[in-house]
């Protein structure tokens, strides 16, 4: 095994196909630490087309038996997987931080969250599984049964290496589907860890395959003839292509894509609370959440005071190695992502009406040679691409509004509709926000990010396509219904 610069072992990447671990024979993949890009976290080879064909064939083969396995037996495996995940939360959480860049606390928290999601979906076995309707005919009733869809392709992003896969894979398996999973190639180690947990929990061979691959392999998986449905979280552009490909094939698709989520701070808001929540929403995970707060609308009467408070707290954030206990914000996922965001910032800074309140410039310190960017707050005098385009980094754009109506209009502006936050205790403002903001998730007095495992999650407008995720809502995508008219032959005579 190769040694990394910190003497931590470089983990070997493996794929799981038809119940067997194998090293791929595609191109070499080195999974690096974005805080120290010369440090390898894991290494291996990508999966090849042959692995894909075998994984899909194994999933097809395993499907009838898995679907016929009692729901409680499937749930028992999910429950045991949750235990294995919890048992390894510290180690896997640190590995997550090392390959993705979010802080250690966020990494460990995310691993525990994955366990919680598995437990929720284990509990589904003990909840109602369908509906019964009355019949207009004597001696008859009508049942609606929820049945698994078949082989589900799961394609997941880098920013939640274990929680997002958990909230797709747990319901997929729990409801009786088999899965072929392609995680983002930036975070392959956590994908191996989650797969190990399921194998250790007793998941039968072929029910889940893991293929570490690039976007091309993901595209082939999505269009593979042996796949019945596709669930995806990631960029808007990839999501739209995936929807188009699935449309051509009449294949159900569920996609979670971009966001440009606004926090609205109204004049009556608790400004301390709002500053803390906006800070968390904008800069946790270095702003790399589709639910991150990337826009702030602040009411004119409190704007100067709030921005002074916020800027002071942003300047106090400690940016550095995500494994250091006192780090508040780590790097973004890669040097490439850092450079792309920096280029967008440089272009914005040259436009009229754009004023950088804090951050905005790259670090010139050698210790910050990783994929670090400063937390940045930018005031906009009017409309600007920074107000509309998702940067997926630690950049918060701010505009001022004269009244509630203008504030909500600004918050709702643009093509996305994932989440929003409104800071106020005014019931009229809360009611207006609930009615007017076209978002999938609305927070009153809390940050725009976050998703509890038992409630629906997903966006409106261009942020999402297909049924919602999480909680019972997940059943809509991961099952299909059969309506059964049941009548005894002698009934009604
Ligand atoms: C969260 O806000 O905790 O990709 C979850 C994303 C979202 C998940 C957000 N699908 O960032």
Share in percent of the chain as helix, strand, coil (round to 5): 40, 25, 35
Do 335 and 439 belong to one domain? yes
pLDDT tens, residue order, the chain (493 aa): 344 445 688 999 999 999 999 998 899 999 999 999 999 999 999 999 999 999 999 999 999 999 999 999 999 999 999 999 999 999 999 999 999 999 999 999 999 999 999 999 999 999 999 999 999 999 999 999 999 999 999 999 999 999 999 999 999 999 999 999 999 999 999 999 999 999 999 999 999 999 999 999 999 999 999 999 999 999 999 999 999 999 999 999 999 999 999 999 999 999 999 999 999 999 999 999 999 999 999 999 999 999 999 999 999 999 999 999 999 999 999 999 999 999 999 999 999 999 999 999 999 998 899 999 999 999 999 999 999 999 999 999 999 999 999 999 999 999 999 999 999 999 999 999 999 999 999 999 999 999 999 999 999 999 999 999 999 999 999 999 999 999 999 876 6
**Cα–chain-centroid distance for residue 77?**
23
111, 164, 418, 419, best to mutate for ligand 1 pocket (most atoms within 8 Å of CB): 164
Residues 384, 433 share a domain? yes
Active-site residues: which are they? 256, 290
How far apart are alpha carbons 409 and 423 in whole angstroms? 15
Question: How many beta carbons lie within 10 A of that of residue 26, not counting itself?
Answer: 21
CATH number of the domain that residue 218 is part of: 3.40.605.10
- C-alpha to C-alpha distance for 441 and 464, rounded to whole angstroms: 12
Confirm whether 295 is domain-assigned.
Answer: yes
Give the domain extent around 476: 11-257+463-482
Say what the pLDDT of residue 58 is: 98
Cβ 91 vs Cβ 230: under 8 Å:
no
How far, in Å, from the CA of 362 to the mean position of ligand 1? 26
CATH number at residue 340: 3.40.309.10
Instruction: Say whether both 413 and 328 belong to one domain.
Output: yes
- Are residues 279 and 406 located together in one domain of the fold? yes
Query: Residue whose CA is closest, atom 4 of ligand 1?
Result: 290
How far is ligand 1, taken at its centre, from the CA of residue 381, in Å? 29
What is the number of alpha carbons within 13 Å of residue 199 lying toward its C-beta?
17
Question: For residue 491, is it within any domain?
Answer: no
Q: Whose CA is nearest to atom 1 of ligand 1?
A: 450
Residue 192 in any domain: the answer is: yes
Whether 336 and 225 map to the same domain: the answer is no
Q: How many independent structural domains does the chain possess?
A: 2
User: What number does the ligand 1 atom closest to the CA of 469 have?
Assistant: 10
486 and 143 Cβ atoms separated by less than 8 Å: yes
- 3 assigned to some structural domain: no
Ligand 1 pocket, CB under 6 A: 157, 159-160, 164, 233, 256, 289-291, 449-451
Looking at residue 77, its pLDDT comes to 99
* Structural element, H or E, at residue 310: helix 300-315
- 312 phi, psi to nearest 5 deg: -60, -40
Q: Which H or E run includes 333?
A: none
């Amino acid at each position: 095994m190769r040694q990394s610069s910190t003497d931590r072992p470089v983990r070997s990447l493996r794929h799981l196909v038809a119940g067997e671990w194998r090293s791929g024979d595609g191109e070499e993949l080195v999974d690096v630490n974005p805080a120290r890009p010369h440090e390898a976290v894991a290494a291996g080879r990508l999966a090849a087309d042959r692995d894909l064909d075998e994984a899909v064939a194994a999933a097809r083969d395993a499907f009838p038996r898995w679907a016929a396995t009692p729901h409680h037996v499937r749930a028992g495996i999910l429950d045991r997987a949750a235990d294995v995940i919890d048992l390894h939360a510290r180690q896997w959480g640190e590995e997550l931080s090392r390959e993705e860049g979010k802080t250690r606390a966020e990494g460990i928290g995310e691993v525990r969250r994955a366990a919680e999601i598995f437990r929720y979906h284990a509990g589904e076995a003990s909840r109602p599984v369908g509906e019964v309707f009355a019949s207009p005919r004597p001696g008859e009733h009508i049942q609606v049964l929820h049945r698994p869809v078949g082989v589900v392709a799961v394609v997941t992003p880098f920013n939640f290496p274990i929680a997002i896969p958990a909230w797709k894979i747990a319901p997929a398996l729990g409801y009786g589907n088999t899965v072929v999973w392609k995680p983002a190639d930036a975070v392959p180690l956590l994908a191996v860890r989650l797969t190990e947990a399921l194998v250790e929990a007793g998941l039968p061979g072929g029910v889940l395959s893991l293929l570490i691959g690039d976007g091309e392999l993901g595209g082939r998986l999505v269009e593979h003839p042996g796949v019945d449905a596709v669930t995806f979280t990631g960029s808007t552009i990839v999501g739209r292509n995936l929807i188009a490909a699935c449309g051509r094939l009449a294949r159900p698709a569920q996609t979670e894509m971009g966001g440009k989520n606004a926090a609205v701070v109204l004049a009556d808001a608790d400004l301390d609370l709002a500053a803390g929540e906006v800070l968390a929403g904008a800069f946790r995970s270095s702003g790399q959440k589709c639910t991150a707060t990337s826009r702030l609308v602040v009411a004119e009467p409190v704007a100067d005071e709030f921005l002074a408070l916020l800027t002071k707290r942003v300047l106090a954030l400690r940016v550095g190695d995500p494994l250091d206990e006192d780090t508040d914000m780590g790097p973004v996922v890669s040097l490439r992502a850092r450079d792309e965001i920096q280029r967008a910032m440089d272009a914005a800074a040259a436009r009229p009406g754009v004023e950088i309140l804090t951050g905005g410039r790259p670090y010139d310190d050698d210790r910050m040679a990783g994929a670090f960017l400063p937390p940045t707050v930018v005031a906009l005098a009017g409309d600007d691409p920074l107000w509309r385009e998702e940067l997926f980094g630690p950049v918060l754009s701010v505009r001022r509004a004269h009244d509630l109506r203008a504030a909500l209009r600004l918050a709702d502006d643009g093509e996305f509709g994932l989440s929003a936050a409104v800071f106020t205790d005014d019931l009229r403002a809360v009611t207006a926000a609930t009615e007017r903001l076209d978002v999938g998730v609305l927070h009153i007095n809390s940050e725009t990010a976050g998703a509890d495992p038992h409630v629906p999650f997903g966006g409106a407008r261009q942020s999402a396509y297909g049924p919602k995720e999480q909680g019972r809502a997940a059943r809509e995508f991961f099952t299909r219904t059969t309506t059964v008219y049941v009548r005894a032959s002698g009934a009604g005579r």
